[in-house]
Amino acid sequence: MKKSRWGILGTAGIAQRQLIPSLHASEQCELVAVASRDGKKASVFAKENKIPVAYGSYEELLADPSIDIIYNPLPNHLHVEWTRKAVEAGKHVLCEKPLSLNVEDVKQLIELRNTSGKLIGEAYAMLHQGRLQSLKKLLASNKIGTLSGAHGNFYLYNNDPHDVRNAYEHGGGALWDIGVYPIAVGRWMFGEEPIEVSCVMAEHPDFKVDHHTTGILRFPSGGQMSFACGMSHAFDASMTFYTQSHRIEVNRAYFSNPKAQIIFEVFSGEQADTVKTYSFEASDQYQSECENFALASQGGTPFAGSLEHTLAQTKVMIALFKAAKSHKFERV
């Protein structure tokens, strides 16, 4: 495999915290350049993060012929626009979640991908997490029964009025920002798409985005999952899965910690009398995500965060917003 050359749009926190260290650690990827709307900001960020080239506009980054892959961690409302521009400039694009805030844009991106031959992927890093992949295999093996129920939480505290997550016009709110995680993991674990959903939503009094949302998804097999997310809460990122005989608890489900082993516990029996703990080798889900995307862009194994995955996820999201308004179950 040829080493892929990456460029980053914007000086995002997620890039600095996760993707940049992972790209530097990868032998299959090379981080070449970063762009900011502000040239000085780009230079400072590039120096701090050991990135060779800094551009003072996104357009200049896209015009750099040495770059193969663009990572797009801009605020949610800019994902589709800059993903499209990057593909039109001849780049593959790994875009942060949620890639799109509506179904029509995803369909148009699928068309663009098919005509351009460039790969477009959505960055759901936990789809590349070794621990969750092992859980998926364990559930699929039927060794611990059939998955029939799940619940996922993602709660945190964010009352910053300047954060794009608290701005409606930037695609903010708890459901778009963090509710997407338990929903995506649930769909993946069940291996099917929900038929119908219901949802309860409460807005933040000042920001006019949802700050507490709870929902239910019903799957064709009869399986059900619920999820809850909020941005005025103490932190919780746990998920629980149920078979006839086992309860599986996954703490910090959407994160991997490259420095330590991660554990999930399987409880079985009426009184949860047997507790089995599985440990996994430490792994960095962000590095795996970048390497998997780079490989797929060169014709290798298909990327887990495909646009088909995005389309199915976006349909569920739109149905949840509709259900929150109608106070009824809505078809997906």
Ligand X SMILES: NC(=O)c1ccc[n+]([C@@H]2O[C@H](COP(=O)([O-])OP(=O)(O)OC[C@H]3O[C@@H](n4cnc5c(N)ncnc54)[C@H](OP(=O)(O)O)[C@@H]3O)[C@@H](O)[C@H]2O)c1
Distance CA 142, CA 145 (A): 5
Q: With binding defined as CB under 6 A, does residue 309 bind ligand X? A: no
Q: With binding defined as CB under 6 A, does residue 85 bind ligand X? A: no
Q: Shortest approach of ligand X to residue 58 CB, angstroms?
A: 7
Question: Residue 232 — φ and ψ, nearest 5°?
Answer: -125, 40
Q: Among residues 14, 44, 110, 295, which is the contact residue for ligand X, using CB under 6 A?
A: 14
Q: Among residues 23, 123, 127, 323, which is the contact residue for ligand X, using CB under 6 A?
A: 123
Interface positions, 216-235, toward ligand X (CB under 6 A): none
Segment lying near ligand X (by CB under 6 A), choices 33-41, 106-114, 134-142, 224-232 = 33-41
Q: With binding defined as CB under 6 A, does residue 12 bind ligand X? A: yes
User: Is the Cβ of residue 105 or residue 266 nearer to ligand X in the bound state?
Assistant: 105
Contact of 205 with 168, CB cutoff 8 Å: no
Distance CA 302, CA 283 (A): 20
User: Is the Cβ of residue 125 or residue 175 nearer to ligand X in the bound state?
Assistant: 125
Q: Which of 176, 58, 62, 52 is nearest to 118 (CA)?
A: 62
SS (H, E, C) 44-102: HHHHHCCCCEEECCHHHHHCCCCCCEEEECCCHHHHHHHHHHHHHCCCEEEEECCCCCC
Other residues' Cβ atoms within 10 Å of the Cβ of residue 259? 7
Q: Shortest approach of ligand X to residue 7 CB, angstroms?
A: 13
Q: Which of 158, 187, 165 is nearest to 314 (CA)?
A: 187
Q: With binding defined as CB under 6 A, does residue 62 bind ligand X? A: no
Q: Tokens for 216?
A: 């239910």
Q: Among residues 1, 13, 111, 160, which is the contact residue for ligand X, using CB under 6 A?
A: 13
Distance CA 254, CA 126 (A): 5
Distance CA 59, CA 78 (A): 14
Distance CA 109, CA 173 (A): 24
Contact of 231 with 202, CB cutoff 8 Å: no
User: Is the Cβ of residue 211 or residue 246 nearer to ligand X in the bound state?
Assistant: 211
Interface positions, 171-190, toward ligand X (CB under 6 A): 177
Mapped onto helix, strand or coil, the DSSP state of residue 183 is helix
Q: Shortest approach of ligand X to residue 259 CB, angstroms?
A: 17
The contact pattern for ligand X, residues 130-169, with x = CB under 6 A and - = no contact, is ----------------------------------x-----
DSSP conformational letter for 5: E
Q: Shortest approach of ligand X to residue 252 CB, angstroms?
A: 12
User: Is the Cβ of residue 78 or residue 106 nearer to ligand X in the bound state?
Assistant: 78
Q: With binding defined as CB under 6 A, does residue 127 bind ligand X? A: no
Q: Among residues 7, 23, 67, 73, which is the contact residue for ligand X, using CB under 6 A?
A: 73
User: Is the Cβ of residue 2 or residue 259 nearer to ligand X in the bound state?
Assistant: 259
User: Is the Cβ of residue 46 or residue 266 nearer to ligand X in the bound state?
Assistant: 46
Q: Among residues 4, 26, 36, 292, which is the contact residue for ligand X, using CB under 6 A?
A: 36
Q: Which of 120, 232, 229 is nearest to 184 (CA)?
A: 229
User: Is the Cβ of residue 188 or residue 242 nearer to ligand X in the bound state?
Assistant: 188
Q: Tokens for 214?
A: 């709870």
Q: Among residues 91, 92, 97, 309, which is the contact residue for ligand X, using CB under 6 A?
A: 97
User: Which residues bind to ligand X, rule: CB under 6 A?
Assistant: 10-14, 36-38, 41, 73-76, 78, 96-97, 123, 125, 164, 177
